[in-house]
C-alpha cells in the first residue's frame, strides 16, 4: 500500500504543479465545465492510470476505474476550491483563507490517493 501511495503522491505533484503551469489549465477552473479544468483533471487521471498500470497489485480494468474516479474527484475538488476563492475574493496576497483552502484542497487530493491505495489492497 505504501508503494502505491508514494507513486500516486509523486504523480500528483507533477500533474498539479509543473504540468499545470499554463494559464489555459488553471485560469477558469472556478467555472463549472471550463475546458481547462477538465483537461487538468484528465491529466491527473492519465497520470494515475500510468502509475496504476505499472504496479503489479492491480489489473488493467481496475486501473482504468480508479483513474476515472481520480479524474472526477480531482475535477470537483479543484472546482470547489477555485469557485470558493473567486466567490469570496480570496487570493494569495489578499486573504490567509486562500492558503487554508489550498491546504485543504491538497489534503482532499491526498486522501483520495489513500482511499485508492486502500481499495487496491483490500481483499
Whether the Cβ atoms of residue 81 and residue 101 lie closer than 8 Å to each other: yes
The model's pTM: 0.93
Asked if 116 contacts 66 with a C-beta cutoff of 8 angstroms, the reply is yes
Q: So what's the pLDDT on residue 40?
A: 97
- The per-residue pLDDT for 30 is 87
Q: Rg of the chain over CA atoms, in angstroms?
A: 15
pLDDT beyond 80 at 123: no
pLDDT of residue 74: 98
pLDDT band at 36 (very low <50, low <70, confident <90, very high): very high
Q: What cell does 52 get?
A: 496504476
Contacts of 9 (CB under 8 A, 6+ apart): 110, 113
Mean pLDDT calculated for residue range 12-28: 93
Amino acid at each position: 500500500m505504501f508503494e502505491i501511495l508514494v507513486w500516486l503522491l509523486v504523480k500528483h505533484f507533477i500533474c498539479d504543479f509543473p504540468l499545470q503551469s499554463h494559464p489555459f489549465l488553471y485560469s477558469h477552473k472556478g467555472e463549472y465545465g471550463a475546458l481547462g479544468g477538465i483537461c487538468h483533471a484528465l491529466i491527473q487521471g492519465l497520470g494515475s492510470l500510468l502509475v496504476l498500470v505499472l504496479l503489479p497489485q492491480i489489473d488493467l480494468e481496475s486501473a482504468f476505474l480508479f483513474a476515472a474516479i481520480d479524474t472526477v474527484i480531482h475535477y470537483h475538488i479543484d472546482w470547489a476550491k477555485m469557485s470558493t476563492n473567486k466567490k469570496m475574493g480570496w487570493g494569495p496576497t489578499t486573504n490567509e483563507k486562500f492558503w487554508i483552502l489550498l491546504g485543504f484542497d491538497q489534503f482532499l487530493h491526498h486522501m483520495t490517493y489513500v482511499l485508492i491505495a486502500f481499495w487496491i489492497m483490500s481483499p
